[in-house]
């Protein structure tokens, strides 16, 4: 297992949310309403209880409040500080990833069962204008997702997500919105983080083992438990995971 830790100069403030990749690119939001990236440091006038921030492209970023009373809680800003768009991103947001020029938002059970809005879909896909293009539950015609535990990018145009109640891994093609489900071993039931390599899916933390990694070879249907790390990881690309603190972040590669 290898770890690469990056310190971010945020002064006396603390990081409330952060996203990063394995190439050293990051975006963070602090408790004094400052957005910090490799190239930018700007304040935005916005009040969020539970912020989640993601970079969209070189010019814009997306920030959302995980909870809402059906008011707009998703905001697209330029790095100049200009607000471009606000829209209802849904209540009970679990995670957000940006892939294939789309914003993919997942929701936990309080959001899914919380009433009208994209949260009822369990997983919703938006374009960079805030328009919803797809929702899992409404497209499937029944309840596929009651609680989306974790999600990750997979290849150039897909995402993998692991969801309750079936506790299956689903693969969503972001070009066609076709979903494939996989009969999933129970070894890592309740996993809270997922990442993928070319031939394996890596999970971290389960209902019964909060610290181990699990490598699942789908072709062989073989699961190997290995490693040890504290809970709270988020899966990123290439079998790697992310965890952040008040003033920095660490990228973990459990298979090295």
pLDDT digits (tens, 9 = 90+) for 66-108: 999 889 999 999 999 999 999 999 999 999 999 999 999 999 9
Question: In terms of Cα–Cα distance, which of 124, 136, 132 is closest to 96?
Answer: 124
Phi, psi of 111 (to 5 degrees): -75, -45
The CA-atom distances, in angstroms, between 244 and each of 90, 177, 228 are 24, 31, 17
For residue 188, what are its two tokens?
């890592």
Sign of CA dihedral 206, 211, 217, 108: positive
Q: Which residues of the chain have pLDDT under 70?
A: none
CB-based contacts of 198, cutoff 8 Å, min separation 6: none
Q: What is the pLDDT of residue 142?
A: 76
Q: What is the pLDDT of residue 17?
A: 98
Q: 4-18 pLDDT, tens per residue? A: 999 999 999 999 999
Give the pairing type, strands 213-217 and 2-7: unpaired
């Amino acid at each position: 297992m290898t770890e690469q830790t990056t310190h971010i100069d945020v002064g006396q403030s603390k990081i409330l949310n952060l996203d990063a990749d394995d190439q050293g690119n990051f975006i963070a939001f602090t408790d004094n309403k400052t957005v910090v990236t490799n190239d930018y440091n700007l304040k935005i006038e916005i009040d969020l209880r539970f912020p989640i921030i993601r970079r969209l492209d070189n010019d814009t970023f997306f920030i959302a409040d995980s909870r809402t009373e059906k008011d707009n809680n998703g905001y697209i800003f330029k790095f100049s500080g200009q607000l471009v768009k606000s829209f209802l991103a849904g209540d009970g947001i679990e995670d957000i990833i940006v892939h294939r020029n789309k914003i993919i938002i997942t929701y936990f059970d309080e959001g899914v069962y919380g009433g009208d809005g994209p949260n009822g879909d369990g997983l919703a896909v938006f374009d960079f204008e805030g328009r919803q293009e797809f929702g899992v539950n409404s497209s499937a015609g029944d309840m596929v997702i009651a609680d989306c535990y974790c999600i990750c990018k997979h290849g150039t145009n897909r995402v993998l997500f692991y969801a309750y109640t079936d506790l299956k891994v689903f693969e969503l093609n972001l070009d066609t919105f076709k979903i494939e489900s996989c009969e999933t071993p129970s070894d890592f039931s309740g996993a809270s983080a997922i990442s993928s390599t070319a031939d394996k899916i890596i999970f971290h933390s389960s209902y019964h083992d909060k610290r181990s990694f699990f490598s699942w070879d789908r072709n062989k249907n073989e699961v190997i438990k290995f490693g040890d790390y504290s809970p709270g990881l988020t899966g990123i690309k290439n079998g790697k995971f992310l965890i952040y603190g008040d003033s920095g972040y660490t990228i973990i590669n459990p298979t090295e």
